[in-house]
Structure 1
Amino acid sequence: MLDVLRVRDFRLVAVADLLSGLGDWLLLVAAPYFVLRLTGSTMATGLTLAAETLPALVLGPVAGVFADRCDRRRTMLAIDVLRAATVALMLLVHHPGQVWLIYVALIGESGLGQFFDPARRALIPALVGRGPRLAAANSLTALVSGTVRLVGGPAGGALYALAGFGPVVALDAASYLASAILIAAIRHRPGPVSPQRQRGTVLRRFADDLRAGAAHLRVTPGLPVVFATAAIFLLGNAALTALLVPFTGTVLHAGAGTLGMLFAALGVGYLAGAPLSRAAAARFSDRRVMITSLAALSAVFAVTFHTHDIGWALVLFVLIGPPGVCFLVAVDTYLARRTPDALLGRVGSAYGMIQAAATLAGMLGGAVLGQQVGIGVTADLAALCVAVSAAVALLIPRHSTADSLDASKSSLAAPPERSADC
């Protein structure tokens, strides 16, 4: 898996992702606590988390087209600089009447991220190819995510307690600027401008691009089923996420410290899952990895939220990580290998919209059901939802390697085309 770091440009992207991700998680913990201290309102605190979800649902289509029409490296560079400036707005907040600035900054940061993520996803296959290195790159990305989850949350809480909100915000802004510097050093450049893509008005070209992306998702064998599988899994996963706080308090009879330990255990599982996902990708098809991972997750989920022992809960949270990472890496690799470079941004943003919508619905449903029917029954329903996603994954066609786009090549045969609009 680490062999892919020999690709200089991917190495820059991976380190940039690590730095900006750490900054995000520092703020993810500190911002709600800061708002709670200023306002004393749990609703105001909850809005800081809701502000992260809405932009993904609204901006997804625009972001995907933008990522495909523009130089992805330049897009990522500009977005990082803008995110640094947006986050810095929170340094101006000193009393409850200014809390709205935090919401503006969080929505702006999340909205800009909707343009960054599809561009990053689409750039990776251009840097490492669509062969074995693509799965390795996605596994390494999962390793970065696990590291961020393990370190970012506790570090954010500790830094906020020791130094206050301002230094956390400054560090997050600095992480974006450091990421921008690394991305600026990427040597990869897109191919020549395509004159045909410049015809018509901006609105007409945008509509045409949306239709092309939707058509690819609709007619490419396997993609609709993979999207449905991911949506059902994420729905159940988010419902369980909504149960974490009441599960910790009412089932484990523990406090915030134990909740932090559970998140850390999940991070350990993510770290362990990264090399496992690479090994699984080398031995099995993406289809088999998805089915097996989801089946394992449904079993672990079914047990986890019924345990009353903190020690066993920590062990089970570690066990959630490996199959979760294997599934997510398999989905990313599957989508990239069956999507032309010119459409990767739109497919990535569509997947991001599915993630956001399913997560929002799952968290709302989990919270309501947990209140109405109890934690145990809701957890069982969520685990059943994940089991259903494993059954749906059985409908994924059994593609051969030849069915993938350039699956056996280390890089694309021809450079991607870009519009002159950006």
Structure 2
Amino acid sequence: MFDVLRLRDFRLVAAADLLSSAGDWLLLVAAPYFVLRLTGSTLATGLTLAAQTLPALLLGPIAGVFADRWDRRRTMLTTDLLRAGAVGVMLLVDRPGQVWLIYVALTGEAGFGQFFGPARRALVPALVGRGPDLSAANSVTALVGGIVRLVGGPAGGALYALAGFRTVVALDAASYVASAVLITAIRHRTAPASSPRQEVAAVRRFTDDLRAGATHLRTTAGLPAVFAAASIFLLGNAALTALLVPYTGSVLHAGAGTLGWLFAALGVGYLAGAPLSRAAAAHLSDRTVMISSLAVLSAVFAVTFNTHDSAWALALFVLIGPPAVCFLVTVDTYLTRRTPDALLGRVSSAYGMLQASATLAGMLAGAALGQQAGIGVTADLAALCVAASAGAVLLVPRHGTARGPDAEKTSPLASPGRSGDR
């Protein structure tokens, strides 16, 4: 899996992703706590999460179109700097009447991130190819996510307690600046897109671009089924996420410290899942990996949220990571291999919009059902939802699925005539 890191440009992308993601997780813990301390309002605290979710719903399709039109390296660089500026606005907040600035800053950060994500995902296959190294690169990305989950949440809480909110904000902004510096060193340049005909109106061009992406998603064999499976999985996963705090307090009879350890255990599982996803991709079909991962994950979810012992819960949270990573990495690889480079930004942003909408719906449903039916019943229903997503993968064709024009391109590592540093 780590051989793909021999490619200089991909190394830079992975390091930039690690830095900016680490900053995000520091603030993910600190911002809600800071708002709660200022206002004492649960609603005001919850709005910090909504501020980070809405941009994906509103800007997703638009961001995907421009991620395909613009130079992807330059897009990542610009949005990193803009996110650093947006985060810096929170340094001005010191009293309850200024909390709206936090919402504006978080919305701006998430909004600019809608352009960064599709550009990064679309850039990766240009750096590593669409062969075996693509699944390796996605596994490395999952490993980065595991590291961030392992240390980011606890570190954010500790820094907030020891050094205050402004220190966390400054570190988050600095992480974006550091990420931008790394991106400037990337040597790969995206080939300029062909100029659209001048007589075609800009709105018409934009509409045509959106339609082209939607047509690809609708007509490419396997993609509708994978999108359906991912949406069902994310719905159930988000419902369980909404239960984490009440599960920790009411079922485990523990406090915030135990919740932090549960997040750390999840991070350990994500770290273990990264190499496992690479091995699974090398020996099993994408369809088999997705079905088996979701089946295992639904069983682990069902057992975990019916466990009343903190020690067992920690062990089970570790077991959540590997199948979750295997599924998510396989979905990313599947979508990329079946999408031409010119449409990758749009497909990535559509997937991001799907993630945001399913997560928001799942969290609202989980919170409401948990209140009315109880934690155990809601968790069982969410686990069944994840199992149903495995059934949706059965609709993915076994063979003969189109892989896009570059699917058989040799990886830069496997080709003696290409250099990863060029």
Change (3 A) 1:299 1:396: same
Q: What is the CA–CA distance in structure 1 between the aligned matches of 2:17 and 2:403, rounded to whole Å?
A: 31
Structure 2 CA distance for partners of 1:324 and 1:175, relative to 1, 3 Å: same
Tell me how far apart the structure 1 counterparts of residues 368 and 194 of structure 2 sit (CA, whole Å).
51
Aligned pairs for 1:20-419 within 5 A: 20-196=20-196, 200-400=200-400, 403=403, 405-410=405-410
Report the secondary structure of 1:195's partner residue: coil
CA distance in 1, matches of 2:124, 2:306: 40
The code of the aligned residue for 2:379 comes to: A
**C-alpha separation in 1, matches of 2:375 and 2:402:** 46
AA paired with 2:327?
A: F
Shift of 1:400: 4.8
Read off the aligned partner of 2:9 and give its amino acid letter.
D
Supply the distance in 2 between the matched residues of 1:199 and 1:257 (Cα, whole angstroms).
62
Deviation sequence 1:310-334 (CA, Å, 0-9, x none):
1111111000000000000000000
The AA in structure 2 aligned to 1:103 is Y
Aligned equivalents of 1:235 and 1:401: distance in 2? Answer: 26
SS in 2 for 1:52: helix
- Provide the rounded CA distance (Å) in 1 between the counterparts of 2:8 and 2:268: 27
Matched position secondary structure for 2:366:
helix
For residue 51 of structure 1, give the secondary structure of its aligned residue in structure 2. helix
Shift of 1:151: 0.6
Cα deviation code 1:190-238 (max 9, x no counterpart): 2244134655121111000000000000110000000000000000000
Preserved CA contact (<8 Å) 1:83 1:173: yes
Cα distance in 1 between the residues matched to 2:402 and 2:345: 23
More displaced 10-residue stretch of structure 1: 340-349 or 195-204: 195-204
Report deviation, 1:183. Answer: 0.6
Preserved contact between residue 401 and residue 407 of structure 1 (Cα < 8 Å)? no
Q: Which shifted more, 192-201 or 337-346?
A: 192-201
**Change in CA separation of 1:349 and 1:360 when aligned onto 2, cut-off 3 Å:** same
| Preserved contact between residue 197 and residue 205 of structure 1 (Cα < 8 Å) | no
Give the TM-score normalised by the residue count of structure 1: 0.96
Q: Report the CA distance shift for 1:402/1:411 in structure 2 as closer, same or farther (over 3 A).
A: farther
Amino acid at match of 2:385: C
CA distance in 2, matches of 1:29, 1:197: 48
Provide Cα deviations, 1:12-41, integer angstroms capped at 9, x if missing partner.
000000000000000111111111111111
Per-residue CA shift, 1:127-151, capped at 9, x if unaligned? 1000000000000000000000111
Aligned to 1:420: none
1:409: Cα distance to partner?
1.8
Residue 404 of structure 1: CA displacement?
Answer: 5.2
2:313 counterpart letter in structure 1: A
Mapped partners of 1:254, 1:272: distance in 2: 26
CA shift for structure 1 position 43 = 1.1
Separation in 2, partners of 1:344, 1:56: 17
2: CA distance, partners of 1:17 / 1:399: 34
Deviation at 1:406, TM superposition (A): 3.0
| Matches of 1:333 and 1:174, distance apart in 2 | 31
Cα distance per residue 1:277-324 (max 9 Å; x no partner)? 000011111111100000000110111111111111111100000000
In structure 1, how many angstroms separate the alpha carbons of the residues matched to 2:403 and 2:114?
30
Pair 359,401 (structure 1): closer, same or farther in 2 beyond 3 Å: closer
Q: Is the 8 A contact 2:69 2:193 kept in 1?
A: no
- Contact 2:221 2:401 (C-alpha < 8 Å) held by counterparts: no
Distance 2:326 2:92 in 1: 42
Cα gap change, 1:79/1:316 in structure 2, threshold over 3 Å: closer, same or farther? same
Moved over 2 A (4+): 195-199, 399-408
**Counterpart in the other structure of 2:419:** none
Q: What is aligned with 2:416? A: none
Does the 8 Å contact 1:81/1:177 carry over to 2?
A: yes
* C-alpha distance 167-198 of structure 1, shift in aligned 2 (>3 A): farther
Unmatched 5+ residue regions in structure 1?
A: 413-422
**Alignment check: 8 A CA contact 1:229 1:392 kept:** yes
SS in 2 for 1:194: coil
Q: Which amino acid aligns with 1:69?
A: R
Query: When the two structures are aligned, how many residues end up with a matched partner?
Result: 412
Q: 1:92 to 1:211 in 2, by over 3 A?
A: same
CA RMSD of aligned residues (A): 1.2
SS at match of 2:52: coil
Q: CA distance change for structure 1 residues 199 and 259 in 2, over 3 Å: closer, same or farther?
A: farther
